[in-house]
Amino acid sequence: MKPDKNDHTFFAYRDNCLQPVKSGVVSEFPLQLIVNGQEIATLIGSPHDLRFLVAGFLRLQGFVRSLDDFRMFSVCEEFGTANVQIKGELPERLKPVLTSGCGTGISFSMPEGIAPEPGAVTHVVRPARIFSLMDELAQRAENYRTHGGIHSAAVGRDDTLLLYAEDLGRHNTLDRIAGEALFKGIDLQGTIMVTSGRISTEMVAKAALLGIRVIASRTSPTDMAIRLCEQSAICLVGYVRSAKFNVYSHPECIEQYPESPKIEGVTGVILAGGSSSRMGNNKALLLVDDVPIITRSYRVLASIFREVLIVTNTPQDYDFLPCRKVPDIYPGIGSVAGLHAALTHSTNSRTFVSACDMPFLQPDIIGHLCEIQSHGFDAVIPFSSGGQEPLHAVYSSACREVFDEAIKGGERKILKILERMHTRCVTWDELKSVSGSQSSFMNVNTPEEYHTIKSCV
């Protein structure tokens, strides 16, 4: 028997940031029902005691009355199929059974992942918008509802609620919204949907067809709904209550540290593709003050940039970070490939890039470099007391083609490639008076350097 709950890593929004959590989510199991060689339905329900589900469904549809009516009864959980032979004949034309969506649902075609539009995943939402729309949903429900047992849903853009619907079936609320939008000519692309009910695959499939990019509920989603949201570039939010919520898919869509001023038009990127050969293990995961170095770097970048990426070919190593993980376009050729990938995947025209072994990144230094780059330079490369720092630097999107051509030409040395660009070198004399300059460039390459850095905390 399959479990009714599966462990899932998601993110809890608390204290203005997303924190990794591992817990169970409700399982949703699709079961293809074949009767007398004919597929008649897909039953969607909890995965326990499936034989009871199948037998009860056929009994209540009038196909069987007793166990003697079954010639064969087989349920295969591995393939999600129930194959049944009954004594009676099936009707020539089966009439679909529509449910309220509050229990086991019936679907005659399972939804597949709907390909996201370019840039859809990068849509960033402030948490306050979700809380505001959920509060307005609750107020509308109080105003319109005369008795219990009714589901409600609404869609909004920014802080404006566009459409509201209620129905005894949670799926019907979204159908009503889709219909009203059609009559009124309202485009739902990129909107936020808030709902009172549990999020299932059918709800996600309908939302994806409408172009909705964030789904938020007061309760929890199912495991299949989470997977479908991952495929469909939808940010899935549950348990929205009193300034807290959980994010089950695409956490990069939620702005973190919303009260912190952001540097607009710049993406922050951490390069985490190195082999760490001198260190002997993954430098990004080394602990400094009981926190992985890459987590320390991520928190700094998330506090000053709306978009943060990690360039890595092993994204599973960093599942605990709520941001996009993107691969090298040219794997296996070092940091130059990481820079090229950073500029390729960034959605902004300017990108700050840092190595994954810098535990003390300083916002003032990063902001200073971004301000210099805004004056039209292709690249802004600082000097620390130890020399040039091309992996603590700002690059424009124009650098991507330069890196691409250099890689194809066999050039691997970043400093050599920088000679082809309009590069501004920021001297140590210019930087050393900026707050944090002494620590921002510190990095870990050897066990000795790691020991020194730990002693600085």
Return all residues near 151 (Cβ < 8 A) that are at least 6 apart: 102, 166, 167, 168, 169, 170, 172, 173, 195, 196, 197
Which residue do the tokens 């199929």 mark?
81
Of 440, 423, 420, residue with least CA distance to 358: 440
Sheet holding 151-157, edge to edge: 17-26, 5-14, 244-249, 235-241, 214-217, 192-195, 151-157, 160-167
Q: For residue 273, with 0-12 CB atoms within 10 Å meaning exposed, 13-18 middle and 19 or more buried, which class applies?
A: buried
Q: Which residues of 192-206 are buried (b: 16+ CB within 10 A; e: fewer)?
A: bbbbbbbbbbbbbbb
* Catalytic pick among 102, 229, 253, 356: 102
Contact 86, 58 (CB under 8 A): yes
Contact 98, 108 (CB under 8 A): no
Q: Tell me whether residue 102 is one of the annotated catalytic residues.
A: yes
Q: Number of C-alpha atoms within 13 angstroms, CB side, residue 131? A: 11
Tokens describing residue 244? 């807290």
C-alpha 313 chain-centroid distance: 18
Contact 309, 354 (CB under 8 A): no
Q: How far apart are CA 201 and CA 226, in angstroms?
A: 8
Catalytic residue annotation: 102
